[in-house]
Amino acid sequence: MLTGFKEFIMRGNVIQLAVGVVIGSAFTAIVTSITKSVIYPIIAAFGEPSAPGLGFHLRSGNPATFVDLSAVITAVINFFLVAAVVYFIIVLPMNKLVEAQKRRAGVDEESADPTETELLAEIRDLLASQATPQQERKAAEAEARRTAESTETPGSTRVAE
């Protein structure tokens, strides 16, 4: 039971996901602080002086009806900053590492996989190279029979050998 759990945990993508979540949540606090302290005041400067930020009141004089667009803009900026950091700090280096490991292992990503026809031809050639003279003779006779059968015309009778 614990062996299966250990295999699950030790898979690369689970560990990458855990690292991404931890670093992403830690970095979110930093980005939120920067956006609330620096970006939010800049956005609020474009709103009315009496309003708490960039937005508008649905009912004038009622602060509960204020639609705060600066909070939405701040959340979008937070998302993109966190996503950029996670990508450039975690995802990109991990992709480079995987690519380097594949190069060391001799895996060429650009080479296309062989088609089914190419694989069958390779199998045929390998079997032909391993055939004994007796098997080659039988194969030639079978090929000759197939050729003769395919060239017969309808209505003609074949003479028994």
Cβ atoms of residues 161 and 145 within 8 Å = no
Number of other residues whose CB lies within 10 A of the CB of residue 77:
17
Give the model confidence (pLDDT) of 131-155 as tens digits.
677 777 888 888 888 888 877 655 5
Exposed e or buried b for every residue in 17-40, given b needs 16+ CB within 10 A?
Answer: eeebeeebeeebeebbeebeeebb
pLDDT in tens, 81-130: 777 877 888 778 888 888 888 888 876 666 677 888 988 888 888 887 88
Number of C-beta neighbours around residue 43 at 10 A:
20
Q: Output the pTM of the full model.
A: 0.43
Tell me the mean pLDDT in the region 64-83. Answer: 79
